A = this chain, B = another copy of it.
Amino acid sequence: MDIAILLFDGVTALDAVGPFEVLSRVPDARVRFVAARPGPVRVGHGTWSLPAEAALGEVPHPDILVVPGGPGQEALMTDRPVLEWVARAHETSRWTTSVCTGSLVLAGAGVLRGVRATTHWLALEALERLGAIPVRDRVVVDGKVLTAAGVSAGIDMALHLAARLCGPQQAQAIQLAIEYDPQPPFGAGSPSTAPPDVVAEARRRSRFRSP
């Protein structure tokens, strides 16, 4: 089973590595980072690079496609070769998935027209403008498309996917292996539970601020 995680300049590292850590434990899965060109790909919010192991052309038909998000998503929206690769990969994929603003890339590739999907909470309106049906859930499944909310939600999405790939027993074993028994010190992980001033400040700074 070939799993391709798309990298691009300005990808958020955890968007890619969260699903990697889960999916690499699925029996018989071969998880690879892919990008326009193989080699180092600069992460967002950092000074280092994740390595793309293959070029997009080398992996035209992955069984599973994972599109992470990050500040670099914006530039991808006009990157024809990447969008075309996503559209073609989706035609033959078993599962097409995204994390965070990766769903905007799926939408930009035409994959989400009329499809129920989620994204980072700040980008839900942008997702709607791109023709998807926005859903404010952590993980949304519509047909073979799985989309996750912001950054850390890729872990949850990958566990949902693992259950579909190798059954709930194995998915639970993976969850136990990575000890995913979350106990964040605050309840601020969602705009509906974070303090209103924290939410307002995040909206003010967002690159998705309504015009």
Contact = CB atoms under 8 A, between A and B. Distances in A.
Nearest to A194: B176
A204 to B, nearest CB: 11
Contacts of A160: 185
Contact of A153 (B175, B179, B198): B179
B40 A24 contact: no
Contacts of A24: 45-46
A116 interface: no
Interface of A: 12-14, 17-18, 20-21, 24-25, 31-33, 40, 45-51, 53, 100, 120-121, 138-139, 149-153, 155-156, 159-160, 163, 168-169, 171-173, 175-186, 188-191, 193-195, 197-199, 201-202
Instruction: Across the A-B interface, give the 9 residue pairs with the lowest CB-CB distance, nearest first.
Output: A150-B179, A181-B189, A172-B188, A182-B182, A14-B21, A151-B178, A181-B190, A180-B189, A17-B17
